[in-house]
Amino acid sequence: MPLLRRKPFALVEPPIDLEPSESLFQIRFTKEVFRDYNDYLNRLNQYRKRVWTCKVTGKTGLTYEEALVSEKHGAEKVQQIPEELIAPALRIIQYSMLPLKDLVDYIADKLKEQLVVGSQLYGKKNERVCPCKILKVMQEDAENVSYVVAWLDGSNNVIERAEVSSQDLVQKKSPFSRNILKSFVRECTYRNAPWVLHDKLAKKHEISTDIPEELRGKVSFNNGLVVFTKKRKHEEELIKYPIDDLLVKPSPDDPVFSSRPSPSRDFNIPIHCVGDLLMVWDFFMSFGKLLQLSPYTLKDFEKAISHKDSNVALLVESHAVLFRVLIKGDDEYYAAVHDKLPKKITMISWKDYLCEFLEMIKIPKLRQYEATIKRGRYSYVDVNAKLEIFRELVNRALDTTIVREKLHEFIEQRRALGAAKREEAIEASAKRRKVKEQLKADSGSNCSENGHDLDQDANVSADNNHRIQNGSIRKNRNSKIESSRQKDALDSGIKHSNLASKMSAEKFDSELNRSAEFGKVYNRKESQKQPMGDKDQSEDSYEQRRQYFDREIEKWCVRTSFLGMDRYYNRYWWFYRDGRIFVESPESNEWGYYSSKGELDGLTSSLNCKGEREKALLKQLKKYYGRICLELQKNSKDSLHKITRDDSVVRRSTRVRAPPRKNPAKAFLRYVNKWKEE
**Model confidence at 493: pLDDT above 50:** no
Are the C-beta atoms of residues 381 and 369 closer than 8 Å to each other? yes
How far apart CA 577 and CA 598 sit, in angstroms, is 20
- HSE-up of residue 24 (Cα within 13 Å, Cβ side): 16
**Helix 178-187 and helix 100-112, axial crossing angle in degrees, nearest 10:** 110
Give me the pLDDT at residue 15, please: 84
Give me the pLDDT at residue 628, please: 92
Give me the pLDDT at residue 473, please: 36
How far apart CA 625 and CA 594 sit, in angstroms, is 13
- pLDDT, tens digit (0-9, with 9 covering 90-100), for 405-415: 887 887 787 78
DSSP result, 251-277: -TT---PPPPPPPB---SS-GGGHHHH
How far apart CA 54 and CA 607 sit, in angstroms, is 29
**Model confidence at 434: pLDDT above 60:** yes
How far apart CA 218 and CA 262 sit, in angstroms, is 31
Between residues 457 and 399, the one the model is more confident about: 399
DSSP code of 6? Answer: T
- Cα 495 to Cα 366, 426, 538: the distances in Å are 56, 11, 11
- Cα 578 to Cα 18, 80, 285, 560, 617: the distances in Å are 65, 38, 11, 12, 20
Are the C-beta atoms of residues 499 and 416 closer than 8 Å to each other? yes
Are the C-beta atoms of residues 95 and 194 closer than 8 Å to each other? yes
| Closest to 522 (Cα-Cα) out of 549, 482, 494 | 482
Give me the pLDDT at residue 386, please: 96
Are the C-beta atoms of residues 280 and 390 closer than 8 Å to each other? yes
- pLDDT, tens digit (0-9, with 9 covering 90-100), for 215-242: 877 766 665 566 666 555 444 456 788 9
Give me the pLDDT at residue 467, please: 41
Lowest-pLDDT range, 462-466, 634-638, 671-675? 462-466
Give me the pLDDT at residue 370, please: 93
How far apart CA 610 and CA 156 sit, in angstroms, is 58
Between residues 611 and 85, the one the model is more confident about: 611
Q: How many Cβ atoms from other residues are within 10 Å of residue 372's Cβ?
A: 18
Between residues 175 and 514, the one the model is more confident about: 175
Between residues 27 and 58, the one the model is more confident about: 27
Using a pLDDT cut of 70, give the percent of the chain over it. Answer: 76
**Model confidence at 486: pLDDT above 80:** no
DSSP code of 210? Answer: S
Exposed, middle or buried, 516 (CB in 10 Å: 0-12/13-18/19+)?
Answer: exposed
Exposed, middle or buried, 10 (CB in 10 Å: 0-12/13-18/19+)?
Answer: exposed
**Model confidence at 58: pLDDT above 50:** yes
DSSP code of 215? Answer: G
**Model confidence at 119: pLDDT above 50:** yes
- Cα 207 to Cα 193, 196, 221: the distances in Å are 18, 11, 17
Give me the pLDDT at residue 646, please: 52
Are the C-beta atoms of residues 488 and 538 closer than 8 Å to each other? yes
| Closest to 217 (Cα-Cα) out of 226, 227, 229 | 229
Between residues 383 and 74, the one the model is more confident about: 383
pLDDT band at 349 (very low <50, low <70, confident <90, very high): very high
Lowest-pLDDT range, 131-135, 367-371, 525-529, 611-615? 525-529
How far apart CA 513 and CA 515 sit, in angstroms, is 6
Give me the pLDDT at residue 352, please: 94
* Residues in the chain, overall count: 678
Domain boundaries, the chain: 3-78, 82-228, 279-399, 560-651
Q: Where are the alpha helices (DSSP H) in 399-523?
A: 401-450, 457-462, 464-469, 472-492, 498-501, 505-514
How far apart CA 194 and CA 221 sit, in angstroms, is 13
Across 2-15, average pLDDT: 84
Give me the pLDDT at residue 656, please: 54
Lowest-pLDDT range, 275-279, 540-544, 615-619? 540-544
Q: How many Cβ atoms from other residues are within 10 Å of residue 485's Cβ?
A: 19
pLDDT band at 260 (very low <50, low <70, confident <90, very high): very high
DSSP code of 380? Answer: G
- Cα 349 to Cα 33, 385, 663: the distances in Å are 63, 20, 28
Give me the pLDDT at residue 558, please: 57
pLDDT band at 321 (very low <50, low <70, confident <90, very high): very high
| Closest to 52 (Cα-Cα) out of 6, 119, 15 | 6
- Cα 168 to Cα 121, 129, 164, 182: the distances in Å are 11, 9, 6, 31
**Model confidence at 96: pLDDT above 50:** yes
116-153 as b/e, with b when 16 or more CB fall inside 10 Å? eeebebbbebeeeeebbbbeeeeeeeeeeebbebbbbe
Domain 82-228 has CATH 3.20.20.70: no
- Cα 65 to Cα 19, 33, 72, 416, 461: the distances in Å are 29, 17, 11, 57, 96
How far apart CA 100 and CA 85 sit, in angstroms, is 19
Are the C-beta atoms of residues 601 and 560 closer than 8 Å to each other? no
- HSE-up of residue 473 (Cα within 13 Å, Cβ side): 9
Using a pLDDT cut of 90, give the percent of the chain over it. Answer: 28
DSSP code of 577? Answer: T
Give me the pLDDT at residue 454, please: 42
- pLDDT, tens digit (0-9, with 9 covering 90-100), for 611-638: 999 999 999 999 889 989 998 888 776 6
pLDDT band at 562 (very low <50, low <70, confident <90, very high): confident
DSSP H or E segment with residue 565: strand 564-565
Lowest-pLDDT range, 223-237, 264-278, 450-464, 655-669? 450-464
